[in-house]
Amino acid sequence: MATPKRTRTSPPTASPKPAPKALVERARTLHEARRQRLAADGFDAIARVRERRADISASFYDVGEALVVLQREGIAEALGCADFDAICRDHLDLSPSHARRLVDLVARLTRGLAVSLGVDRASALMALVDATPDDDAPADILHATLVLPSGAKLDVDKAPTEAIYAAAKELRQAAAPSAKRARGLTTSAAERSRFAAATKRAAGDARFEGIEPRLVARGRVKGAAVRVDVPLDLWEAMVSAVVRAKKTR
């Protein structure tokens, strides 16, 4: 008589065990220890900035180095702030755009070069470097003679700071695509009024400092547009605010 075949049954899959309480507590302890270290670094950097605010023109590089610390991942959260901009406003009474310029100087210039130039001239040099079409080092541009789009020559090392800023502006304008406005188009009084009101509201927010919006006519069908260059972090914040508002409707 044939023996019936036995079917193999898979053992029941064990449900994942919850993490032991000791491991959970250890993870919390490590997280809190890290938060405290970051907070200590952040408050130390804030103290350094505050100490040098009175003479920031002479101590701008030290301030920039402290601001670099405040931009590190996790620092803002450890300090109870939403982001780097909030640290600047709430703890330093410093414009976020000004703070980012100092961070940029520290990232791109050596201490010796930056201090020898001073904050205004160093900022002008950075503007010129960013405006030139080639990927030149700041030290190379400083000792170069540039031929500007107008045909004028600029001896960067000997030129006044204002002339360096003007040269950077000329180079940017020459590189920008020419956009001719259609003949006969103009903005309406209502559009200009709305633009003025929005610009006034933006002036009360430090994040919009240094931003220059421009109202552009596009005809009655399309309506007016606003053209403006904004920092990436501000663009992200604007998009997030619009998306959140749309979702809550």
Q: Point out the least confidently predicted range of 54-68, 144-158, 212-226.
A: 212-226
Q: What is the pTM of this model?
A: 0.57
The answer on pLDDT for 241 being more than 80 is no
- The stretches of 132-160 forming alpha helices (DSSP H) are 138-142
For the cut 60, the answer to whether the pLDDT of residue 150 exceeds it is yes
pLDDT of residue 14: 55
Q: Inform me whether the pLDDT recorded for 90 exceeds 60.
A: yes
Q: How high does pLDDT run on average in the chain?
A: 82
The predicted-structure confidence for 7-43, as pLDDT tens digits, reads as follows 555 555 555 555 677 777 777 777 778 888 888 888 8
Q: Return d(Cα 146, Cα 112) in angstroms, integer.
A: 24
pLDDT digits (tens, 9 = 90+) for 96-138: 999 999 999 999 999 999 999 999 999 999 999 999 988 788 9
Beta-bridged to residue 146, according to DSSP, are 154
> Which letter does DSSP use for residue 92 in this model?
I
**pLDDT for the residue numbered 181:** 45
Burial of 85 (0-12, 13-18, 19+ CB in 10 A): buried
Amino acid letter at 72?
R
The mean pLDDT of 167-192, rounded to a whole number, is: 74
Is the dihedral angle over the CA atoms 111, 114, 119, 125 positive or is it negative? negative
Across the range 81-109, mean pLDDT stands at 92
Task: Give the pLDDT band of residue 182 (cuts 50, 70, 90).
Answer: very low
Please check whether residue 202 is in contact with residue 209, taking contact to mean a CB–CB distance below 8 angstroms. no
CB atoms under 10 Å from CB of 127, counted, come to 17
